[in-house]
Structure 1
Amino acid sequence: MSPLFGRRAGLRWLHLLLGGALLMPYFLVGTVIVGLYRPDTDVFTSPTAQLTAFACALPMAAVTALLPLARPLSASAARALCGLPPDRPLAEGPARTGQARIRSAAWFTLHLGLGGILGGATLALVPFAGGLMVLPFFTAVRDSPVFRLPAALDGPWAPVLAPVAGLAMLLALAGCATAAGAVLARRAPVLLGPTPDDRLAAAERRAADLAVRNRLARELHDSVGHALSAVTLQAGAARRVLDSDPAFVREALTAIEATTRRTVGELDAVLGLLREGEDQGYDEDGPHRPTLDALDGLLAHCGIPVVCVKRGDPGSIPPAVSREAYRIVQEGLSNALRHGGSGTRADLRITADAGGVEITMDSPLPGRRAVTRPGGGRGLRGIAERAALLGGTADWGPDADGVWRLAVRLPPHRPGQEHR
């Protein structure tokens, strides 16, 4: 009996009764329409008039279900009461497209149609079946014309047949409710599930969120990762000459202080972007990130000696391109420091003109393979991603001159902004 009277069957029956209750306003309007065209008919007692009013109510319900908010309301009720399989999720949010609205209207009409039939049957049959089941035990019920059995059945077997007939009615009603609930449960994922447009919109949102996370991860890697590499090597060098070269130690501590202070400011800016992103999204063109104008401070405390040659005017480069160029230089220095140690050096050449920005960085090839950190190895890949996002190119590797060369070219504008 669990399929007929279990918890899931009860919830689906309740869902059908909810559909019948929602149908009542439309049904009453239908009775008014029928009454206007058939004034000589009692619409509340005539089965034909009732069926006509029911037929008028369903199209009105379908029209109102075209409203965008009809889908989330219907989906919430179906999710809570229909016992849907977990692998068939329903759509979230209002119906924005014509296809989604038509599906929502079809579901609403189906729900109210089946609910109206089962609701009416429940209101009529349950009291009548209950009366039949107690008919042999109460004289008032037995003498009532409402529960009088047909003449063919009114005999010595009436006290036995009446309870059996009442129980059969209840079982038939429960079976119909179970079947109707199963129909709704099967159709809910089809009519209230995500449409192809909904899936595309969800995929675009996930892609946008992933792009933001990757962007923030690159910011943290390039700023904090570079600072930690520089500070670690400077602190190690200072420890080794602590007693023999106090002047170098003071210089190293000064560089560590400047590096950490600058990095804390950059970290605060990135965390501020995260907090703002909860309401406004991540603004990758925001004013919080350093540009090529701040390059001198980076080179002064990067942990290795750098010979920098600048050509052109970096200030003429758009801020978005200049910010990415700064991060690329920062990661290039971090990579040279990580692989070559504090004793290495770097030759940096930056050309900024109307054709864009060209960055070339040479550093001696390391004498030994650098230790790979767990989860490391993202620096050069991050440089390539930054360049690709701007429509530029990035190449690296050993050069014929016996140095490790990083060469990056960035266009003067981001893709799609040439004519803005």
Structure 2
Amino acid sequence: MNGVGVLRRWPGAVLGRRARLRWVHLVLGGALLMPYFLLTQVFVGVAADGANVLSSLPLTLAAYASALPLAAVTGLFGLVRPMSVTAVRAMSGVPGDLLADGPARSWGARWRASAWWTLHLGVGAVISGMTLAATPMAVVLILLPFSAALRARPVATGWFGSAAAPWVAPLLGAGLLGLVVLCSAAAGALLARLAPGLLGPTAADRLAAAEERAADLAVRNRLARELHDAVGHALSAVTLQAGAARRVLDRDPEFVREALAAIEDTTRRTVGELDAVLGLLRDGDPARADAAPAPTLAADLDGLLSRTRAGGTAITCRQDPGPVGHWGQLPAIASREAYRIVQEGLSNALRHGLGPVDLLIRVHTPDGHRELEITMTNPPAQHPPGREGGQPRRTGGRGLRGAAERAALLGGRIDAGPHGSRWRLRAVLPLGAAPGPFPSAAPGPFPGAAFPGAGR
């Protein structure tokens, strides 16, 4: 049965679509060798006292052999590998995951690509030569018994002078065509087998691909954190605001109007952030992720506190920019991540109905290095008896993990857990070394010695 299967597959392997594409690939290699061959043909002809290289087989072979080192040198260029890989994937039937992507990154990869380039052009030139020379000859031999003009040629009379000899010519012609086909199929299969070794990914390529995947994953994780923080906080705030408005609908219309305005503002801002993040996901451009608009501590903290208080949660906020003088002087990424950490802490308090909330945001300089410290305390959540031994849980869900990832990206840390009789979330974000004498606190809404923002 195995022998029968091989016989059934043999015609396809020699004459099938893949074999034909590999033949085209080889002919393309032969065509690419022609510029090198024409150049070496001139030098070989000069060295042979002006002899016609094409009229002498030894001189033709000498020009061919001299062209291969030139091809090998040009094969060292980095762009040769991606061009070769594209051709192999399209015409040789080699799985794409076995081949490297992008230019060669090391000299080892360049040498392997050069070896492939030389092999492809050298073998392709031989197959092209056989195709161009043997195919017309085979056609002549097949037609010889049926054409008196062909039999009258001197070559035909010399080789096939007897009456029966011309009828042997078609067999020789068919054999010659078969030889060309078999050589082409064998050469194509050989190159396809060697391609993964010569054009496959190196250790540097695999490392670069792993780094690229890690970068993409980091971007997606950041976008996931943005979605979680923005949408999660908005839903918690809107739910709390709507519930508070419903409870006082009849006796405090002014509070209801404030709550509805806060709901409108919260949803409008969240839809904008959601649209920006979804746009990045649709575009699939990681480079634009850091350019996505995001709220910051400097520009959006007051609005965040106002919207949260509109739901009835009492928030006491103390702010001390300290050496930076104003929150606007914070590094942009620190201001952005600090806002999200505050937002997540408030979301947890809203989600569990915890209040009042005490929030302290300050910049101080332990050991001469500036740090942004965010401390938020609130009453602990009440858990059903028996849950985690009756003790408040010491770890958060996705939100606190995301906040911890944000802090870790800046070299900071987050601690969350019981602190005395209250629950405390404390984040420390490094801001770098203090730049000499600190500027005096700039006048404005955030003076260094004052603590505005105490809420209801």
Q: Could you tell me the TM-score, scaled by structure 1's length?
A: 0.86
Deviation at 1:167, TM superposition (A): 1.1
Please name the residue that 2:117 is paired with: 108
| Conserved 8 A contact 2:233-2:344 | yes
C-alpha contact (below 8 Å) 2:296/2:336 kept by paired residues: yes
Task: Name the residue aligned to 2:336.
Answer: 323
Unaligned residue ranges in structure 1 (runs of 5+): 371-375, 415-420
Aligned to 2:142: 133
Q: Matched residues in 2 for 1:146 and 1:345: separation? A: 109
Asked if the contact 1:321–1:390 (Cα under 8 Å) also holds between the matched residues in 2, the reply is yes
The within-5 A match list for 1:2-401 is 2-39=12-49, 41-88=51-98, 90-148=99-157, 150=159, 154-264=161-271, 266-267=273-274, 278=285, 281-283=288-290, 288-292=294-298, 294-302=300-308, 303=311, 304-313=313-322, 315=327, 317-340=330-353, 344-355=355-366, 356-368=371-383, 377-401=397-421
CA distance in 2, matches of 1:255, 1:80: 58
In 2, the alpha carbon distance for the partners of 1:391 and 1:62 equals: 49
Instruction: Work out the CA distance in 1 between the residues paired with 2:321 and 2:26.
Output: 75
Q: Distance in 1 between matches of 2:94 and 2:186?
A: 15
Counterpart residue type for residue 305 of structure 1 = A
Distance change >3 Å, CA 25–CA 265, structure 1 → 2: closer
1:406 matched to 2:425? yes
In the TM superposition, what whole-angstrom CA distance separates every residue of 1:23-61 from its partner, at most 9, and x where no partner exists? 122112122111111116432121111110111111111
**Contact residue 3 and residue 9 of structure 1 kept, 8 A:** yes
Name the SS for the 1:366 alignment partner: coil
The amino acid that maps onto 1:337 is L
User: Which secondary structure state, in structure 2, belongs to the residue aligned with residue 409 of structure 1?
Assistant: strand
Give, in whole Å, the separation in 1 of the partners of 2:149 and 2:84: 44
Residues 188 and 23 of structure 1, relative CA distance in 2, 3 Å threshold: same
Distance 1:136 1:46 in 2: 31
- The 1:73/1:236 distance shift into structure 2, 3 A limit, reads same
- Equivalence for 1:373: none
Q: Deviations over 1:280-332 (max 9, x none)?
A: 53336x88531256323211221321122334536364333232222101100
CA distance in 2 between partners of 1:211 and 1:186 (Å)? 37
- Verify the 8 A CA contact 1:364 1:404 in the aligned structure 2: yes
Greater displacement, 316-325 / 164-173: 316-325
Residue 219 of structure 1 aligns to a residue whose secondary structure is helix
Distance 2:279 2:121 in 1: 50
The root-mean-square deviation of aligned C-alpha atoms, in Å, is: 2.8
What is the CA distance between 1:148 and its match in structure 2?
Answer: 4.6
Shift of residue 276, structure 1, vs aligned partner:
9.8
Aligned partners of 1:132 and 1:180: how far apart in 2?
25
Deviation of residue 250 (structure 1)? Answer: 2.2
In structure 2, distance between residues paired with 1:87 and 1:218: 32
Q: Is the 8 A contact 2:219 2:286 kept in 1?
A: no
Greater shift, 382-391 or 271-280, is seen at 271-280
Check whether the contact 2:297–2:338 (CA below 8 A) recurs between aligned residues.
yes
Tell me which amino acid in the other structure corresponds to 1:85: P
Unaligned runs of at least 5 residues, structure 2: 1-10, 388-395, 434-456
Q: Tell me: CA distance 1:168–1:272, structure 2 relative to 1, closer, same or farther (3 Å).
A: closer
- How far did 1:108 drift? 1.3
CA distance in 2, matches of 1:329, 1:158: 98
Offset at residue 80 of structure 1 (A): 1.4
Aligned length: 402
Equivalent AA in structure 1 for residue 148 of structure 2:
T
Paired residue type of 1:141: L
